[in-house]
Amino acid sequence: MSDIEARRQEWEVWLELWRESGKSAAAWCRENALPYWKFNSWRKRLGPTSPEEVGQTGAAFTLLARAEPEGGSGVVLEVGRVRLLVQPGFDPDVLASVVGALAGRA
C-alpha cells in the first residue's frame, strides 16, 4: 500500500469517528489534537458522504423561490451560478452529491 493510500485510509477513519461523535468539526479536532485546517482539507478531498454532511461543508446556497412545477411543489436553489430545481420525490443522495460537487468547484 502506498503512503498516500495509507494516509487516505487513516483520514477516512478520522472522519468516520468525527461523524459518529455528533460534535462540530472544530471541537472534535481540538479534543483529538488534529489540525483543523488539515481535517478540512481531507474532508473536502474525500467528499461528503451524507446529505447532513453536505450542509456542514459550508456550501453556500440561496433559496430563490418555491416553484410550482407540474404535479406538485418544488424548490429552486442557487449554488454559485448554478440553479437547481428540486421536485417532489427527489433522491436526497443525488442532491447531496450534486451540491457537494458544486461546493468543491467553488
pLDDT tens column, 53-102: 545 545 555 555 554 545 556 777 776 667 777 887 888 888 778 777 77
- Return the pLDDT at 32: 93
- Does residue 24 form part of some domain? yes
DSSP codes joined into one string, 14-75? HHHHHHHHTS-HHHHHHHTT--HHHHHHHHHHH---SHHHHHHTT---EEEEEE--TTS-EE
Question: How many structural domains does the chain have?
Answer: 2
- Domain span at residue 88? 62-105
- Does residue 55 form part of some domain? no
- Does residue 85 form part of some domain? yes
Q: Is the pLDDT of residue 51 over 50?
A: no
- Does residue 54 form part of some domain? no
- Does residue 53 form part of some domain? no
- Does residue 71 form part of some domain? yes
Q: Is the pLDDT of residue 47 over 70?
A: yes
- Does residue 98 form part of some domain? yes
Q: What is the pTM of this model?
A: 0.47
Mean pLDDT of the chain: 75
| Residues 42, 54: Cα–Cα separation, whole Å | 14
Residue 35 sits at φ, ψ, to 5 deg, of -65, 125
42 and 12 in a common domain: yes
